[in-house]
């Protein structure tokens, strides 16, 4: 809690007051952002506004005028009347007006992506109807506009959208039709410019201006004392009313009983003073001051941060981070030091690991591969929606193994959905178009399409045709060489897509009567039938499915030669025993196991399982009873060396979060080298025992402080958090442990702990450090923010940990400040 204004605060206040004129010249309540040149035609067009159609479905279009407020970086529409169109109305050539609704707003910085063309579920369905002469039902004006070159879509971050006052939980897509291709291209270009600007502007000032604007209840451009108190509470600053009033009066410069934006920013700077940074600077200053010359900066970077920089590099850093008026002084001030630590490359995650740094020339079986289960689902497993967006988002998150659950559909088209359930359907060809577009947008390394094939032979032939024609040169169709004994490397298979599925035996290729049970089918369908029987579905809806499902689990199905020919390095085979695999399986044959079966094998035959994974692929998928799309703990299977641990990417639980953390390294390319003891034939490794390594890692983390912690979603407006920090190590069972700090009462703005946690790590290649900040509460300790990263990616020294919410979205400005030391010691 902040109880008084110290002498240091007084000194800081005097320094800030001297530069008040400079602040005033740079801060305006409307916005400090530099406006784009008048000749920027896309931005000029967007500020004036454009009438476009928002498409919610093939039968619902909304005519709206979209505009951009560049000063406030907002996209909004506010129609005088709201029109909607349906096929019935179109036939009558009528539009029905609806009274105006609340202003709808989207902040530019929450736009994830602007997509050209028909590349969302809504547009894909619209495209399908258009192919079926759907345009006959359209008004002539709409026919002229409904072209792919006129269409674009906005993908908006989860829980960041304000639409009629409500927050949405999932990624939100707005599909728009512009009046022409030129207008569409101008909007796409302009929005992309604004997205880029929002990422590089002064984050702290932008954040603070937004908070001031929100607190200005009466909208007069200044904050009275009560509004100021309210904003302090919003910023999680616990402060006595008398002390707040004293500080309020000190920063006023115009005599009015209110603070303008520049005055509140001065108040904020005083409260934002960080004495822990002062102590660091004094330690490395010959004069024990908060001013460093180049040599002192170099010494700090070398001794604490383990960064080996030249004098010239250090000079460049001073010029980059020191305030404008001091750039040529040759010294780094406290303000410059704070910017260096928060805005530079000094965060806890090793920047080298944000690029591909591992050896990518080893056989594929030596890598963990980011893998998705039932990729097409974006909700639960029984009633949820199937969507191409599931594939797009998985690929953009670095996923390299996608699942396609194919069935016979209407109009002789293969479809994808979760069979024998009430999930919606999507076309295979639409999915493949999306995969082709986004396949290598994040990573160049190979993609594996795991096919759960339920199609009849004619549909399988059409599947094979689509794989070849849509994926084109990306599809790897070469046969395995006679002398090949192991998989090729990710590097050698750059930008290639593989089909994983059943393959006919060579001697049976000519037989038209061969029948083969499809991979996973028996166990998965029996699992799903049991799940349906116990799941809370509407009365009667699952009754007809269950008998069909149980019968299907015992059927044998044929596989088309055209589809079999596309399977090469990922030939799916039913697992019987490790002995059989060792004696008769080819190197390209692999298996898929449910988490239950795999966990049992790991406990009872761990050594054999780990040995199997050195040569063959194994894919682990969630048991069928996880109808809510929950996930299992992937760590036990990574410890076994299982390459493809398939998770429900749509569910942001702690296990998906750990998966994201593990694959964040190596440039988020979707491939990670397994530890040597899980790849070398010379090492016999039992995953139920700690791996024998000569050295262990000792990690000491001092939790110094936190900054700008938000309130948990469940907190009331008057609550101020009581934060504490927990640090958990997950990975090998021998390393799993958890430490925590004490809690700080009523301070989420700048709590200070200075508490130390010690860890001993035996298997650092598998260890993930999981930071959680929670609010101490009698009933429940709500999550404030979190961050996880691999042990091997941790930077030593004084580092900021940038906190994220439960869906992996970065929390604005919320950080932990820690000091990390790592050392090696001999194993006993």
Catalytic residues: 373, 418
CA–CA distance, 161 with 826 (Å, rounded to integer): 52
For residues 315, 317, 323, 328, the Cα torsion angle rounded to the nearest 10 degrees is 10
Query: How crowded is residue 666: how many other Cβ atoms within 10 Å of its Cβ?
Result: 25
What SS3 state is found at 9? helix
Query: How crowded is residue 84: how many other Cβ atoms within 10 Å of its Cβ?
Result: 16
- Residue 475, beta-bridge partner list: 497
Number of separate helices (H) and strands (E) present in the chain: 26, 32
Could you give the C-alpha distances from 65 to 62, 118, 305, in angstroms and in order?
10, 21, 52
Residue pair 827/334 in contact (Cβ under 8 Å)? The answer is: no
* Per-position b or e across 102-130, b if 16+ CB within 10 A of its CB: eebbbbbbbbbbbbebbbbbbbbbbbbeb
Residue pair 2/247 in contact (Cβ under 8 Å)? The answer is: no
CA–CA distance, 510 with 206 (Å, rounded to integer): 68
What SS3 state is found at 354? helix
Could you give the C-alpha distances from 341 to 17, 321, 573, 714, 809, in angstroms and in order?
25, 9, 52, 31, 21
Query: How crowded is residue 508: how many other Cβ atoms within 10 Å of its Cβ?
Result: 12
CA–CA distance, 152 with 582 (Å, rounded to integer): 53
What distance lies between CA 580 and its chain's CA centroid? 40
What distance lies between CA 447 and its chain's CA centroid? 19
CA–CA distance, 316 with 518 (Å, rounded to integer): 62
E strands, 320-421, are: 332-333, 367-372, 401-408, 414-416
Residue pair 695/825 in contact (Cβ under 8 Å)? The answer is: yes
Residue pair 818/757 in contact (Cβ under 8 Å)? The answer is: no
* Cα-trace Rg, the chain: 30
Residue pair 600/575 in contact (Cβ under 8 Å)? The answer is: no
Could you give the C-alpha distances from 742 to 719, 730, 756, 819, in angstroms and in order?
19, 22, 11, 17
Positive or negative: CA dihedral 546, 547, 548, 554: positive
């Amino acid at each position: 809690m902040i109880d008084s204004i110290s002498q240091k605060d007084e000194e800081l206040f005097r320094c800030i007051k001297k530069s008040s004129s400079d602040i005033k010249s740079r801060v305006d309540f409307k916005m400090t952002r530099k406006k784009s040149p008048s000749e920027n035609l896309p931005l000029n067009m967007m500020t004036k506004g454009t009438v476009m159609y928002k498409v919610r479905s093939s039968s619902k279009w909304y005519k709206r005028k979209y505009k951009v407020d560049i000063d406030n970086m907002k996209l909004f529409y506010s129609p005088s009347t709201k029109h909607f169109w349906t096929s019935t109305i179109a036939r009558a050539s009528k539009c029905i007006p609806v009274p105006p609704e609340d202003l709808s707003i989207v902040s530019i910085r929450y736009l994830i992506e602007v997509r050209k063309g028909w590349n969302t579920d809504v547009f894909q369905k619209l495209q399908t109807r258009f192919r079926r002469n759907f345009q006959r039902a359209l008004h002539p004006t709409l026919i002229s506009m409904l072209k792919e070159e006129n269409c674009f879509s906005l993908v908006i971050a989860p829980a960041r959208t304000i639409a009629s006052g409500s927050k949405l939980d999932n990624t939100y897509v707005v599909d728009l039709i512009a009046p022409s291709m030129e207008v569409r291209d101008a909007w796409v270009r302009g929005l992309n410019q604004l997205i880029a600007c929002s990422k590089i502007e002064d984050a702290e000032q932008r954040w603070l201006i937004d908070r001031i604007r929100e607190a200005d209840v009466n909208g007069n451009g200044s904050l009275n004392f009560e509004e100021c108190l309210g904003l302090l509470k919003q910023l999680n600053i616990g402060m006595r009313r008398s002390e707040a009033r004293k500080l309020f009066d000190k920063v006023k410069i115009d005599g009015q009983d209110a603070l303008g934006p520049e005055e509140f920013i001065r108040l904020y700077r005083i409260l934002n003073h960080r004495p822990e940074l002062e102590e660091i600077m004094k330690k490395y200053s010959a004069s024990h001051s908060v001013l460093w010359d180049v040599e002192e900066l170099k010494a700090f970077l070398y001794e604490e941060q383990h960064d080996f920089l030249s004098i010239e590099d250090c000079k460049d850093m001073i010029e980059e981070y020191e305030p404008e008026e001091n750039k040529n002084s040759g010294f780094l001030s406290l303000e410059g030091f704070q910017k260096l630590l928060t805005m530079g490359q000094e965060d806890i995650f090793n920047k080298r690991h944000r690029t591909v740094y591992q050896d990518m020339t080893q056989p594929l079986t030596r890598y963990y591969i980011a893998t998705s289960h039932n990729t097409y689902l974006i909700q639960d497993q029984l009633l949820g929606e199937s969507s191409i967006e599931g594939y797009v988002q998985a690929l953009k998150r670095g996923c390299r193994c996608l699942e396609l659950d194919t069935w016979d559909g209407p109009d002789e088209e293969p479809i994808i959905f979760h069979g024998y359930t009430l999930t919606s359907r999507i076309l295979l060809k639409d999915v493949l178009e999306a995969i082709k577009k986004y396949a290598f947008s994040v990573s160049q390394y190979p993609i594996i399409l795991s096919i759960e094939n339920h199609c009849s032979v004619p549909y399988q032939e059409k599947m094979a045709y689509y794989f070849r024609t849509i994926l084109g040169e990306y599809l790897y169709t070469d046969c395995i060489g006679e002398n090949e004994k192991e998989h090729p490397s990710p590097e050698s298979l750059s930008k290639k897509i593989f089909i994983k599925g059943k393959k006919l035996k060579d001697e049976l290729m000519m037989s038209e009567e061969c029948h083969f049970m499809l991979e996973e089918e028996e166990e998965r369908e029996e699992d799903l039938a049991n799940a349906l029987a116990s799941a809370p579905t509407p009365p009667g809806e699952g009754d007809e499915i269950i008998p069909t499902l149980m019968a299907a689990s015992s059927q044998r199905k044929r596989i088309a030669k055209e589809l079999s020919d596309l399977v090469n390095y990922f030939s799916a085979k039913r697992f019987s025993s490790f002995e059989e695999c060792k004696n008769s399986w080819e190197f390209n044959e692999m298996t898929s196991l449910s988490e239950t079966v795999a966990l049992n094998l790991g406990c009872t035959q761990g050594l054999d399982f780990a040995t199997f994974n050195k040569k063959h692929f194994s894919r682990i998928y969630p048991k069928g009873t996880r109808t809510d799309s929950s996930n299992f703990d992937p760590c036990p299977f990574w410890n076994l060396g299982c390459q493809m641990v398939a998770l429900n990417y749509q569910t942001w639980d702690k296990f998906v979060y750990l998966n994201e953390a593990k694959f964040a390294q190596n440039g988020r390319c979707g491939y990670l080298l397994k530890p040597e003891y899980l790849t070398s034939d010379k090492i016999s490794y039992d995953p139920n025992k700690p791996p024998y390594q000569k050295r262990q890692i000792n990690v000491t983390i001092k939790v110094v402080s936190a900054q700008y912690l938000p309130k948990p979603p469940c907190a009331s407006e008057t609550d101020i958090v009581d934060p504490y920090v927990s640090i958990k190590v997950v990975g090998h069972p021998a390393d799993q442990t958890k430490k925590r700090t004490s809690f700080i009462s009523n301070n989420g703005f700048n709590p200070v702990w200075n508490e130390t946690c010690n860890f001993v790590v035996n298997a650092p290649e598998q260890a993930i450090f999981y930071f959680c900040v929670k609010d101490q509460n009698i009933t429940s300790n709500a999550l404030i923010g979190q961050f996880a990263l691999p042990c091997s990616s941790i930077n030593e020294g004084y580092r900021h940990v940038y906190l994220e919410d439960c869906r992996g979205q970065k929390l604005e400005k919320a950080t932990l400040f820690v000091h990390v030391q790592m050392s090696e010691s001999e194993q006993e």
